[in-house]
Amino acid sequence: MTLLQSKFSTDLLTFKTMFISIFLEALPFILLGVISSSLLQLFVSEQRLAQIIPRNPLLGILFASLFGILFPICECGMIPVIRRLMAKGMPAYIATVFILSGPILNPIVFFATYTAFRNRPEVIYSRMGLALVVSFIIGLIIYRFIRYNPLRISIGTLYDDGSEIIEHPTWKSKLTSFFMHMSNEFFEMSKYLTIGAFITAMIHTTVNTGQLTAYGQGPISSHLLMSGFAYLLSICSTSDAFVASSFVNTFSIGSLITFLVLGPMLDLKGTLMLLSVFKTKYVVTLGALILLTVLGLSIGMDQLWFR
């Protein structure tokens, strides 16, 4: 009984340490992301941004891939922004590229990944590079082969989200809107961070590390496992690097990059949000493209560079 109590106390201490560590490391970046998103929501016109999109498809896809640098919003707040941009005339293929690349290719996520992997710079640059390549490839495929309208509802009703439009908002109304948007997004993102940190801490506490390492170093199994984790955990891109860093001694580097790229592009909560705007057929096609492209490229990177 004493040994059982001792093991329980040790496991509980491990769980608490892991959970608090992941949560507190990610919290500053969530706050930074929330503040940035709220400021952009309040002061940046989606119509003005839509007007500067290049008309050339290749340039438009490249522009959308790098759009996150100017518009640093994590995937939690991406769909509402995209709905507004599409209502202002943004083509669906460019909007899709922005959905894929925006949550990764932005300065907030870069610095969060740098903080989590400061001793493994190859993870930082591989994540950013792979996200850019995957977004560009999928954008080209969608532009070339998707001929039907992917929107679930008409463009005329897409912008009608029930919100009141104020012609000349006062500073008081702007300030109120800012804090309401910030608080709503903070609680939304921190909810998923809490769930992700809890599940990760439970895995580290209860799963046999030796057995997990055996799968985590497999050339294919490690990527499949981390793909499943990324989809189910649905962790915000401003904090997923801290979760991934806790597996650095368990999984291969390439599979960690799979987790860091696939998660912000394709996860459970994101799928549900996409279904609110796009047709089911389009969401399924997009999900398959993301999974195949990320797995193909990350497995190749793992074999060529990280072995």
Instruction: Give the tens place of pLDDT for each residue, 126-167.
Output: 999 999 999 999 999 999 999 888 888 765 554 444 444 444
How confident is the model over 85-99, as a mean pLDDT?
82
- Would you say residue 175 lies in a domain? no
pLDDT, tens digit, 9 for 90 and up, residues 168-207: 567 777 778 778 877 876 776 677 677 777 877 787 777 6
Q: Tell me if residue 7 falls in helix, strand or coil.
A: helix
Is the pTM higher than 0.85? The answer reads no
- Would you say residue 176 lies in a domain? no
Indicate the burial class of 10 (C-beta count within 10 angstroms; 0-12, 13-18, 19 or more). exposed
pLDDT, tens digit, 9 for 90 and up, residues 265-277: 998 878 877 887 7
- Would you say residue 177 lies in a domain? no
Unique residue bearing structure tokens 């109304």: 173
- Would you say residue 178 lies in a domain? no
Q: How many CA atoms lie within 13 A of 290 on its CB side?
A: 28
- Would you say residue 180 lies in a domain? no
- Would you say residue 217 lies in a domain? yes
Other residues' Cβ atoms within 10 Å of the Cβ of residue 35 = 15
Domains: count for the chain: 1
**Domain that residue 73 falls in:** 2-161+187-305
- Would you say residue 156 lies in a domain? yes
pLDDT number for residue 223 = 93
- Would you say residue 147 lies in a domain? yes
pLDDT number for residue 78 = 72
Indicate the burial class of 206 (C-beta count within 10 angstroms; 0-12, 13-18, 19 or more). exposed
